[in-house]
């Protein structure tokens, strides 16, 4: 169980895993996620279920190796087993025949867009896709998005691939041109989702975002993933992860996401120190104990 079947790097710091998890593969629906733990001393963290193959008993995960836990996951190889893998969690995406839907993915956010876009198309919707990334190297899943959508626009911040600019520029042009838009789905960095919400709100365009706050257990017990939606406290793990974008308090969400930046930086520094052979350290070895003693309040 939880054995890594296949591993592939699809972009800088971005990995695709196929994991043997038959029960999750059988029950998975669009919009849901798993919570996993790499080893017994590691933290729990959520990853979107991109796809599943019930017959093979496999699930597809795509993630960025940016923190300690995700970098440990990226270091694992086919044949190794993930210690804990719980899911599927979260409410599945509400799917119906809306009409013409614009699906927007920013960077790694394109991974959770794909299964939702597929489900929307299967329900008879017409899809328009916008795939945004920092640069050409960071564009992911373009072929899969094109296979689902009638139209696709790729844009990069630096103009190295597709259009130069942001996903909001493309969406704004569609709105100003009077194109029919019955639903917008936006998933990506929180500032991007907030910008999309601010753009569609004055036009009354129904907009859904998928939030990725700090999450530990995935069952609502820890309260770490609480968000403010419409003036009420919600838990992304059980009430979401998808919410009405026009009701989300994005400013509060971003403040909460920054709460642990210092701890994450410390953990990354210690990971890098211990994952490098001592012989390669210019000073002859890491100094974690010394740094911990130095930083400890008196």
Distance from C-alpha of 223 to C-alpha of 229, rounded to nearest angstrom: 15
Residue 116 pLDDT = 98
Count of other CB atoms within 10 angstroms of residue 212 = 25
Domains defined for the chain, CATH in brackets: 3-89 (2.40.30.10), 100-257 (3.40.50.80)
Residue 292 pLDDT = 47
Torsion of CA 283, 293, 268, 242, to 10 degrees: -170
Q: What is the pLDDT along the chain (298 residues), one digit of tens a residue?
A: 899 999 999 999 999 999 999 999 999 999 999 999 998 888 889 999 999 999 999 999 999 998 888 999 999 999 999 999 999 999 999 999 999 999 999 998 999 999 999 999 999 999 999 999 999 999 999 999 999 999 999 999 999 999 999 999 999 999 999 999 999 999 999 999 999 999 999 999 999 999 987 767 666 667 777 888 899 898 888 888 999 999 999 998 888 777 665 555 555 566 555 654 444 444 444 555 455 445 555 5
Give me the residue label for tokens 């700090």: 214
Distance from C-alpha of 200 to C-alpha of 198, rounded to nearest angstrom: 6
pTM above 0.75, yes or no: yes
Distance from C-alpha of 290 to C-alpha of 210, rounded to nearest angstrom: 41
Q: Which of 190, 216, 109 is nearest to 226 (CA)?
A: 216
Element spanning 123, H or E: none
């Amino acid at each position: 169980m939880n054995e890594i079947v296949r591993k592939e790097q699809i972009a800088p710091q971005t990995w695709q895993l196929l994991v043997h998890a038959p029960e999750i593969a059988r029950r998975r629906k669009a919009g849901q996620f798993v919570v996993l733990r790499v080893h017994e001393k590691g933290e729990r963290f959520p990853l979107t279920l991109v796809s599943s193959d019930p017959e093979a008993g496999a699930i597809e995960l795509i993630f960025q190796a940016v923190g300690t836990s995700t970098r440990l996951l990226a270091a694992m190889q086919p044949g190794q087993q993930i210690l804990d893998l719980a899911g599927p969690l979260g409410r599945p995406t509400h799917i119906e025949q809306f009409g013409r839907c614009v699906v927007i993915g920013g960077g790694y956010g394109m991974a959770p867009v794909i299964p939702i876009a597929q489900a929307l198309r299967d329900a008879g919707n017409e899809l328009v896709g916008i795939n945004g990334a920092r640069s050409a190297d960071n564009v992911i899943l373009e072929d899969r998005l094109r296979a689902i959508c009638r139209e696709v626009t790729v844009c990069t911040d630096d103009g190295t691939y597709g259009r130069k600019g942001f996903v909001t520029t493309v969406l704004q042009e569609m709105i100003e041109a009077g194109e029919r838009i019955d639903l917008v789905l936006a998933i990506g960095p929180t500032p991007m989702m907030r910008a999309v919400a601010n753009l569609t709100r004055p036009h009354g365009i129904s907009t859904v975002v998928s939030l990725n706050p700090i999450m530990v257990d995935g069952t609502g017990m820890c309260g770490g993933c609480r968000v403010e939606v419409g003036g009420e406290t919600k838990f992304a793990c059980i009430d979401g992860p998808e919410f009405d974008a026009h009701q989300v308090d994005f400013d509060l969400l971003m403040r909460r996401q920054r709460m642990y930046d210092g701890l994450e930086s410390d953990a990354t520094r210690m990971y890098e120190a211990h994952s490098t052979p001592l012989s390669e350290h210019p000073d002859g070895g890491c100094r974690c104990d010394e740094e911990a003693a130095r930083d400890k309040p008196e």
